[in-house]
A and B are shown apart, each in its own frame.
Chain A
Amino acid sequence: MIADPIFAPLRDLARRLRRGELSPVELAESFLRRLEGLGPRLHAVVTVTRERALTAARRAEAEIAAGHYRGPLHGIPYGAKDLLATAGGIPTTWGAAPLRAQSFDFDATVIRKLEAAGAVLVAKLAMVELAGGMGYRQPSASFTGPGRNPWNPETWTGGSSSGSGAAVAAGLVPFAIGSETWGSILSPAGNCGVTGLRPTYGRVSRHGAMALAWTLDKLGPLGLTADDCGLVLDAIAGPDPADPSATGRAFRYDERDPAGRRFRFGILPAVTEPCEEAVRASFARSLEVLQEIGSVEEVGLPDLPWETVTRTILQAEAASAFEDLIESGGISALTAPEDRAGPYARDAILAKDYIKAMRLRGVMAREIDRVLSRLDLLVAPGRAAVASPIDQEFRSAIRGTVADPMGAIGNGAGLPAVAVPNGLDPRGLPTSLQFMGRAYDENTVLAAARAYQARTDWHRRHPEL
């Protein structure tokens, strides 16, 4: 009997594809059926790319059969957040009603790199309108409807990579690409109980991706495991002449786990203070696991307004990135009422204050690197709360209604982080744990997450749909 490919780790799928035990075309069909059947119920999908997927899957099948194996993503389906440009008449809507007919005549670099690795694009996935950059405070901020969490569709997926989180959690795709400016990968990964990797700023080219805040935007994978995310990052990382921020530093995923490897973990003071009880309980249990693979110590940072720094940069850059849409009044067609008005207020950000935030960002980057240079990683709860009800406003660090020093510092300083599931609350909603490392040190972040997942089974639990 052939094992079900849904919820199988990428290495397992890759091995079976390479041996001919799985057909790329049949695999694509399996996920296309799930996308078409379950996707609408979860508001997870904007466009199912059936024709493009089957063309790519047939090509993969022929190549693998002929012995031209490209690597571990060859023949594996995936979904892309709908802010990544795709050619061929496939819309790229940025989650925004006024842009629902928008299309491009080229593929984003990430899409091209995944195609070169043999991966099969099966869907453009739902997202919060304009990646949440207009200041939304409710799940209903996308023309495709609020992202419904596969663990409980009456709760939210998190955002802004809402469809990416839901699609991986529901087994609609083996992995997905999301983006993070502040929280948009780690939040849906945490709410949906999957693994999400935010790479170092500049590790992955943003060419062809919607810009929200040029100095903060990152693209990264969401998958079932840290190992899955490492395999995907290996395929999408690298320099790109079309993106001046894309680093020339080489990245190769290091999957080795030397026996007895130990990590030095740090925790910022009061990091669980804003958290719900279930999140604190899961974090306490996680620390016991981390003690098995390393040491845990509290570390301090200077008392500076890290969240204000990152928030000011994000708001100012987003106001400029969407200047045309705001000035023209085009935002009046957005879904969330707050997104139709709040952006006008960004004219009140003075240039001097934005530059002050950028100067403080330098202090932030140096201070956090000084702390991390004596450790391997910082650890913290992935999110302060489990998924909130679908019809309620949520607390947001970007708006300043909940503390998130890890998110502010990590995104402000451009550091890599991974969120992994680490428990379920009494209602069955996932909690998460995040590991954050030094710039360009994704391999350490992923190694610690792999070590954690080798000792726990939260990543092997899936919602019943």
Chain B
Amino acid sequence: MPAEAPRPEVIAEIERLLGLVRDRYGARLGAAELEEVRRTVEGIVEAAHTLRAVRLGNSDEPFPPFVPVRTDG
């Protein structure tokens, strides 16, 4: 079964973030490397949209929780 085509807002986000990566590292990247970067950015954006689709409550904090430190024990 062919993969579902990305929605326009997903395509737009991929292009924006790809532009950011290209701005930072483009001088080091040839055509093959840019294609590798594009594939990875596509995966990252698709993953982000999957994560954003899940609703969490205000009290659902990051795990593991932050633990304050005292170096003197």
Residue numbers of A with Cβ under 8 A of B are 135, 215, 244, 304-305, 308-309, 311-312, 315, 329, 332, 337-338, 340-342, 344-350, 353, 355-363, 365, 399-400
Q: Is the beta-carbon distance between B50 and A348 smaller than 8 angstroms?
A: no
Q: Which of B21, B32, B50, B60 contacts A308 (CB 8 A)?
A: B50
In the complex, whether B8 has a CB less than 8 A from a CB of chain A is no
Q: Is the beta-carbon distance between B48 and A345 smaller than 8 angstroms?
A: no
Q: Is the beta-carbon distance between A362 and B63 smaller than 8 angstroms?
A: yes
Q: Is the beta-carbon distance between A362 and B60 smaller than 8 angstroms?
A: yes
Residues of B within 8 A of A348 (CB): 17-18, 20-21, 40-41, 44-45
A-B pairs, top 5 by smallest CB distance, nearest first, are A362-B63, A345-B40, A358-B62, A341-B33, A348-B17
Residue numbers of B with Cβ under 8 A of A are 17-18, 20-21, 24-25, 28-29, 32-34, 36-41, 43-45, 47-48, 50-52, 54, 56, 60-64, 69
CA distance A305 to B50 in the complex (A): 7
Q: Is the beta-carbon distance between A312 and B51 smaller than 8 angstroms?
A: yes
Q: Is the beta-carbon distance between B47 and A311 smaller than 8 angstroms?
A: yes
Q: Is the beta-carbon distance between B52 and A356 smaller than 8 angstroms?
A: yes
Interface of B, helix, strand, loop or mixed by DSSP: helix
Residues of B within 8 A of A363 (CB): 56, 60
Whether A347 touches B47, Cβ cut-off 8 Å, given contacts A341-B33, A359-B61, is no
Beta-carbon nearest neighbor of A135 in chain B: B40
Residues of B within 8 A of A353 (CB): 47-48, 51-52
Residues of A within 8 A of B34 (CB): 341
Beta-carbon nearest neighbor of A364 in chain B: B63
Residues of A within 8 A of B40 (CB): 135, 342, 345-346, 348
CA distance A341 to B34 in the complex (A): 7
Listed A/B pairs (9) with beta-carbon separation below 8 Å: A135-B40, A308-B51, A337-B32, A353-B48, A355-B62, A356-B51, A356-B54, A356-B56, A360-B56
Q: Is the beta-carbon distance between A344 and B24 smaller than 8 angstroms?
A: yes
Whether A362 touches B61, Cβ cut-off 8 Å, given contacts A305-B51, A347-B21, is yes
Q: Is the beta-carbon distance between A341 and B47 smaller than 8 angstroms?
A: no
Whether A349 touches B44, Cβ cut-off 8 Å, given contacts A359-B56, A359-B60, A359-B61, is yes
Q: Is the beta-carbon distance between A305 and B54 smaller than 8 angstroms?
A: yes
Beta-carbon nearest neighbor of B27 in chain A: A329
Whether A340 touches B33, Cβ cut-off 8 Å, given contacts A356-B51, A360-B56, A361-B63, is yes
Beta-carbon nearest neighbor of A362 in chain B: B63
| Min distance, Cβ A407 to any Cβ of chain B, angstroms | 16
Residues of A within 8 A of B29 (CB): 341, 344
Q: Is the beta-carbon distance between A215 and B64 smaller than 8 angstroms?
A: yes
Beta-carbon nearest neighbor of B14 in chain A: A348
Q: Is the beta-carbon distance between B63 and A341 smaller than 8 angstroms?
A: no
Whether A345 touches B51, Cβ cut-off 8 Å, given contacts A332-B28, A358-B62, A359-B63, is no
| Min distance, Cβ A243 to any Cβ of chain B, angstroms | 13
CA distance A345 to B64 in the complex (A): 26
| Min distance, Cβ B71 to any Cβ of chain A, angstroms | 10
Residues of A within 8 A of B37 (CB): 341-342, 344-345
CA distance A361 to B63 in the complex (A): 6
Residues of B within 8 A of A358 (CB): 62-63
